[in-house]
């Protein structure tokens, strides 16, 4: 039965706002909380219910989705006297869709289970476009029975939904995603810079190469923004740097070197140092154009 779940959504950012809208469109009652209340104003006007704290979300909902910025934010929201684990009702499903630490996902699952709660780590890929169009890729780790119970909620948010294993598996899969994107973004930027330097029309070049072997989501969706000089964020540079840092640390624990990712992180840190934290990841072209 569709409406047996009252969903709490914490984190009304670029992605969270669209995701909340899609849940409401699917018929779910959604309560929302965000540290900056003004970001939730539109959603409240559209039918979402505002709650004043994570604790109030925990007390009023039986499914809670978090979409936050950093692992430290996740830790703060989930743990402590005012946190979700301490204040959620027995049997509540806690779904963290933040891109966060695999180790933290395992810690949350362990503590939540001892409190009679279900958890899933379910980071996403697809950016602002995927969130808006409910076409996100959702990578899920955690108990399979919990995943099957919650899958209809995921289906309101995305189209490629995979259960990948126990707690932490969703986050590890997202790290694979970010590793692949990082080197690909360098290639896309370099290709567009090369086209300009050779006197080609970048738009025509993009039309020629995007359907061949060079094709990728970044090439099709972000290269057009690069060409226009549109650096509005589908995904913030500062958050991508955070993700790359998590992947590098996780790789070190497995005694694995990631040279492509390490170079990409260095370039994005240059962009950050020039004030690019709040740009979209496509703004990397600014660094490569000036090399």
The CATH number of whichever domain residue 244 belongs to comes to: 1.10.1040.10
Same domain, 58 and 157: yes
Same domain, 6 and 134: yes
Same domain, 61 and 112: yes
Q: Which of 132, 166, 200 is the last residue of a domain?
A: 166
Whole-number pLDDT of residue 290:
86
- Which of 17, 55, 174, 242 is flagged as catalytic? 174
Same domain, 147 and 74: yes
Same domain, 120 and 12: yes
Whole-number pLDDT of residue 5:
94
Same domain, 161 and 181: no
C-alpha to C-alpha distance for 147 and 140, rounded to whole angstroms: 8
Whole-number pLDDT of residue 118:
98
Whole-number pLDDT of residue 49:
97
Q: How many domains does the chain have?
A: 2
Whole-number pLDDT of residue 149:
96
C-alpha to C-alpha distance for 108 and 122, rounded to whole angstroms: 13
Strands 118-121 and 93-96: parallel
Active site residue 204: no
Whole-number pLDDT of residue 1:
39
Same domain, 231 and 154: no
C-alpha to C-alpha distance for 193 and 161, rounded to whole angstroms: 35
Whole-number pLDDT of residue 127:
84
Same domain, 29 and 159: yes
C-alpha to C-alpha distance for 146 and 117, rounded to whole angstroms: 10
Same domain, 152 and 47: yes
Same domain, 22 and 138: yes
State the pTM of this model.
Answer: 0.91
Q: Which of 127, 144, 166 is the last residue of a domain?
A: 166
Range of the domain at 184: 172-289
Query: Cα separations (Å) of 108 from 69, 113, 161, 195, 199?
Result: 17, 8, 22, 47, 53
Mean pLDDT of successive 10-residue stretches along the chain, which has 291 residues: 82 94 97 95 97 96 96 95 95 97 97 97 92 97 97 97 98 96 97 97 97 94 96 93 96 95 98 97 95 76
Whole-number pLDDT of residue 3:
67
Is the dihedral angle over the CA atoms 66, 83, 106, 149 positive or is it negative?
negative
Same domain, 122 and 217: no
Q: Which of 136, 166, 196 is the last residue of a domain?
A: 166
Same domain, 135 and 26: yes
CATH number at residue 66: 3.40.50.720
């Amino acid at each position: 039965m569709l409406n047996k779940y009252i969903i709490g959504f914490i984190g009304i950012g670029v992605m969270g706002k669209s995701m909340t809208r899609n849940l409401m469109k699917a018929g779910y009652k959604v309560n929302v909380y965000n540290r900056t209340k003004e970001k939730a104003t539109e959603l409240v006007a559209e039918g979402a219910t505002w709650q004043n704290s994570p604790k109030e979300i925990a007390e009023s909902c039986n499914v809670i989705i978090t979409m936050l910025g950093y692992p430290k934010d996740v830790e703060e929201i989930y743990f402590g006297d005012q946190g979700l684990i301490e204040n959620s009702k027995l049997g509540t499903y806690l779904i963290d869709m933040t891109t966060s630490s695999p180790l933290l996902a395992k810690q949350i699952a362990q503590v939540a289970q001892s409190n009679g709660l279900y958890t899933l780590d379910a980071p996403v890929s697809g950016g602002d476009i995927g969130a808006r169009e409910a076409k996100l890729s959702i990578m899920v780790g955690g108990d399979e029975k919990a995943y099957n119970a919650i899958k209809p909620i995921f289906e309101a948010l995305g189209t490629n939904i995979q259960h990948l294993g126990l707690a932490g598996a969703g986050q590890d899969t997202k790290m694979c995603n970010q590793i692949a994107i990082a080197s690909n973004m360098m290639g896309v930027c370099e290709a567009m810079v090369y086209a300009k330097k050779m006197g080609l029309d970048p738009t025509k070049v993009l039309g020629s190469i995007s359907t061949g072997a060079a094709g990728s989501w970044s090439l099709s969706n972000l290269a057009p923004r690069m060409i226009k000089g549109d650096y509005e964020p589908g995904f913030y540079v500062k958050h991508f740097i955070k993700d790359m840092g998590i992947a590098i640390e996780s790789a070190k624990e497995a005694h694995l070197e990631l040279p492509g990712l390490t170079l990409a992180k260095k370039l994005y840190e240059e962009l950050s140092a020039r004030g690019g934290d709040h740009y979209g990841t496509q703004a990397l072209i600014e660094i490569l154009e000036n090399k």
